[in-house]
Each structure stands twice: as structure tokens, then as C-alpha cells.
Structure 1
Amino acid sequence: MAVSTDILATYRRPQQVIARLLLMGPREDRLLAILMGGCTLMFIAQMPRLARESHLTGQELNMLLGGALLGIVFMAPLALYALAWVSHLILRALGGQGDGYQSRLALFWAFLAATPILLLNGLVAGFIGQGSALNAVGVFWFLIFVWFWIAGLRQAYWGKS
């Protein structure tokens, strides 16, 4: 299936999407593409907020974008790999039967699948700014991300649908 179709399907049945991705076999290049796609979309989501900040504070937009690019596209993947490793160790200690690849797939796919809400968060940050609307969208994104991640880990480590 297309990535966009899989993202939409994740909002209905996240465990089935992870099960289908796991059946494709372990491929690190696919994982890296999923992760980098999510990080790139996260960077794009930050652009409206950074443009607003640049306009209001007088800072140069290119400097803000460069810092965000470094942090999101180059540093965040390292942090996500570390988070996947820690979650794998915890789940193995709890009796899970998965491996590191499955932990990375569940985390990276949850991150990519939740990016449409992250894009909405960026628009709210850019057009409305700080406030309850931005907080609500941010909490909504976090809850969706955690839901996808837990559903993916349950499928990967315990095979529960």
C-alpha cells in the first residue's frame, strides 16, 4: 500500500498496519526512510511557527530554520533510535517476544503516522500562537502518537490485535 493510505489506515486500526509492515520483513532502509520522512514533516510543521517568531522578534528566519533543521532532521533521529532501544529493553524485561527492529518500526511508524496532527500543530502555532488552542492540539498529537506506539508495540511483541 501507499504510505498515505497506510497512515490513514493507522487511524482506524494501528495494529493491523504494523502487522502488515512486519510481514514485509526486516529492512533497515525502510525504517530509516520512515524515520526521515517523519522528521522532515516535523521540520515542515515548524516553519509557520518559526516564521511567526522571526516576524515578531526580528530574528533572521534563515537562522531559525537552520537551527530547527539541525535539531529535527539530524539530532532527533538519534534520540528516537535511543528511545526505541530503551523501549525494547523494557519490553524484553516484561516478557515481550520482539526484537529491536520491531521496536524501531513501532516507534518510527507511530511518529510518521501522527505527523498530520503535527502539521496542524505547526499551523496553529504559526497563525494563532501560544494559547489553549496550541496546547490542545499538542496534547492531541501526543495522545495519538502514544496510542499508535503502544498499539504497534503490542502487535510487535505480543501479536495482539
Structure 2
Amino acid sequence: MPVTRDIPATYTGPGKVVRRLLARGEREDRALAYLMAGCLLMFVAQLPRLAREAHINDQELNMLMGASLMAWVFLAPLMLYCIAALSHIAAKLMRGKGTFYGARIALFWALLAASPVVLLNGLVAGFIGPGPALQIVGLIWVSVFGWFWIGGLITAEKGQG
């Protein structure tokens, strides 16, 4: 199933989608593609907020965008690989039967699948700014991301795929 169909399907059952992704076999290039696409979308989601900050605080937008690009496209993938490894080790301590690859797919796919909500969060941050609306959308994003990650990780650690 293409990514454009897998993302909406994740909102109805993240475990089923992760199971289907794992059934395709271990391909690190696919995991890296999910990670990089998710991180790139996280960077894009920051742009409205950065433009607002640059305008309000009379700062240079290019510097803010460069810092955000460095953080999301170069540093975040390294940290997310470490987080995926730690989540797999924690799952192993709780008798998980999965693999490091399964833990990576669960985390990277959760980041990519939750991207529509983080894009909405970026728009709210850019056009409305700080306030209750931004907090509500941010809470929704964190909840959706956590649901996708935990649901996918549970499936991956059951050894299904």
C-alpha cells in the first residue's frame, strides 16, 4: 500500500499498518526514507512559526530556518535512532520478541504518520501564535504521535510482521 494510503490507515489502527510494513521485510533504506520524510515535514511545519518570530522580533529569517534545518534534518535523525534503540532495549526487558528494525519502523513511521497534525500545529503557531489553540493542537499532536508509536512498538515487539 502506498504511503498516501498508509498514513490515513494508521489513524484507524497503527498496529495493523506497522505489521504490514514489517511484513515487507527488513529494508533499512525504507526505514531511513520514513525517518527523513518525517524530519523534513517537521522542518516544514516550523516555517510559519519561524516567519512569525522573525517578523515580530525583527530577526533574520534565514538564520532561524538554517538552525531549524540543522536540527531537524541532521541532528534529529541521530537522536531518533538512539531513541528507537533504547525503546527496543526497554521492550526486551519486558520480554519483547521484536528486533531493533521493528522498533525503528514503529518510531519512524509514527513520526511520518503524525505529520498532518504537526503541519496543522505549525500553521496554528504561525498564524494564531501562542495561546490555548496552539496548546490544544500541540496536545493533540503529542497524543497522536504517542498512540502511533506505542501501538506500533507493541506490534513490533510481539514479533509479528
> Normalization by structure 2: what TM-score?
0.97
Runs of 4+ in structure 1 off by over 6 angstroms are: none
Question: What residue is the counterpart of 1:86 in the other structure?
Answer: 86
**Greater relative contact order, per chain length (Cα 8 Å cut-off, separation 6+):** 2
Structure 1 unaligned regions, length at least 5: none
The offset of 1:110, in angstroms, is: 0.5
Kept in 1: contact 2:45–2:123 (CA 8 A)? yes
Question: What residue is the counterpart of 2:37 in the other structure?
Answer: 37
Structure 2 unaligned regions, length at least 5: none
SS in structure 1 at match of 2:47:
helix
The offset of 1:159, in angstroms, is: 5.3
Question: What residue is the counterpart of 2:48 in the other structure?
Answer: 48
Supply the distance in 2 between the matched residues of 1:152 and 1:32 (Cα, whole angstroms): 17
Give the length in aligned residue pairs. Answer: 160
Question: What residue is the counterpart of 2:9 in the other structure?
Answer: 9
Kindly, what percent of the aligned residue pairs are identical? 57
Question: What residue is the counterpart of 2:67 in the other structure?
Answer: 67
Instruction: Spell out, residue by residue over 1:96-134, the C-alpha distance to the aligned partner (whole angstroms, 9 max, x if none).
Output: 000100000000000100010000000000000001110
SS in structure 1 at match of 2:59:
coil
The offset of 1:158, in angstroms, is: 1.5
Alpha-carbon RMSD: 0.9
Alignment map for 1:94-113 (pairs within 5 Å): 94-113=94-113
The offset of 1:31, in angstroms, is: 0.4
SS in structure 1 at match of 2:11:
helix
The offset of 1:36, in angstroms, is: 0.2
SS in structure 2 at match of 1:12:
coil
Supply the distance in 2 between the matched residues of 1:26 and 1:68 (Cα, whole angstroms): 31
Kept in 1: contact 2:110–2:149 (CA 8 A)? yes
Supply the distance in 2 between the matched residues of 1:73 and 1:138 (Cα, whole angstroms): 21
Supply the distance in 1 between the matched residues of 2:116 and 2:66 (Cα, whole angstroms): 23
> Normalization by structure 1: what TM-score?
0.97
Supply the distance in 2 between the matched residues of 1:132 and 1:4 (Cα, whole angstroms): 31
